[in-house]
Amino acid sequence: MQDATGAHTAPGTTGTPETPGTPGTTGTPGTTGTSGTPGTPHPPTPRATLLLLHTAADLRARTPVGRRVVVMTMGALHEGHATLVRTARQTAGPDGEVVVTVFVNPLQFGAGEDLDRYPRTLEADIKIASQAGADVVFAPSVEEVYPGGEPQVRVTAGPMGSVLEGATRPGHFDGVLTVVAKLLHLTAPDVALFGQKDAQQLAVIRRMVRDLNFPVEIVGVPTVREDDGLARSSRNRYLSPEERRTALGLSRALFAGRDRHAAQEALRARAALDPATHARVDGLNALGEARAAADAHAVAQAVPAGPAGPDAVRAAARQVLDEARRLRPPLVLDYLALVDPADFQEISPGHQGEAILAVAAKVGTTRLIDNIPLTFGARA
């Protein structure tokens, strides 16, 4: 569910409670259990009549002509969520139906996370959803989702749910998957959209859908950022101007890692076109062409680094985070990780394929998360 963070939380779950001091977690449509990256959605036409429904029976009574696309949220909607809804509108098409769920899931609030303080702004949420192109806001009660009280049988995230965010918030992803599974049953969508900002949440949802054969397509939507690069999140409202300056260290660290990676990939591409770079270095040095020799040496050094270079990416990101730790107020790092999105384990030096550079830190009493996707060993 997209929580009140940057437009990316699981139904009633995805994301973590957006209150100060609590940990948080949010292309083209892919196939069942996977997703691509949707293109930039066109501005939608606000729906003339948006329905507010509170029961699954009322939702089941509707039979859309086209595909039903669901965006799961915990409310407190903002522009990040609106981007998800606009993408859903584009995915559903004019004959499809876009359903936005608003449900604050008690199962994903752990000890010390104040469920009662989580913002409830349903009237404002309805307005944002309508303007972004939604047809229905489904806002069930806790009793509707969990009619027998807290469920005795739950979905567990397994090893993927015990690292990074799962290590900080034990059991959190079990609560996320349980409510996502429930909402998928209640809403019966053809497609469900989740934000890539909550990358680990998106990964465990995809895994659940694949492992348990849910008949739904999961689509990840890119993170929405503020003008200064900070990932959009409802938690940003808790940052003072000084804390916000420090918080920019998260996105800047990710961008530094991305840029280092891009530079290494470019050097490797050049080296592949000229395998005799070591000989060129010697020849250029003999001719006194120091600058040209240095450039050729950089290209030559790219060859033995292999197709990945993850240590260099981590080092570039960590350097920015170390600088942010010396600011006042300081950035208190929780983790910096470069992981395989398939299992959220750290990638090896020879890794080829998709990876996620993820970071979590606290500034003052506010905990923030961010990530950026990378591809190692890609052909130029």
Binding residues: 74-81, 108, 195-198, 201, 224, 232-235
Q: What is the DSSP string of 222-282?
A: PPPB-TTSPBP-GGGGG--HHHHHHHHHHHHHHHHHHHHHHHHHHHHHHHHH-TTHHHHHH
- List the binding residues for ATP: 74-81, 195-198, 224, 232-235
The closest alpha carbon to 234, from 332, 87, 133, 125, belongs to 125
Contacts of 157 (CB under 8 A, 6+ apart): 166, 173, 174, 176, 177, 204, 208
Contacts of 112 (CB under 8 A, 6+ apart): 21, 22
- List the binding residues for beta-alanine: 108
C-beta separation of 281 from 294 below 8 A? no
Is 278 one of the catalytic residues?
no
Out of 8, 42, 81, 172, which one is annotated catalytic? Answer: 81
Contacts of 188 (CB under 8 A, 6+ apart): 60, 68
Point out the residues that are catalytic. 81
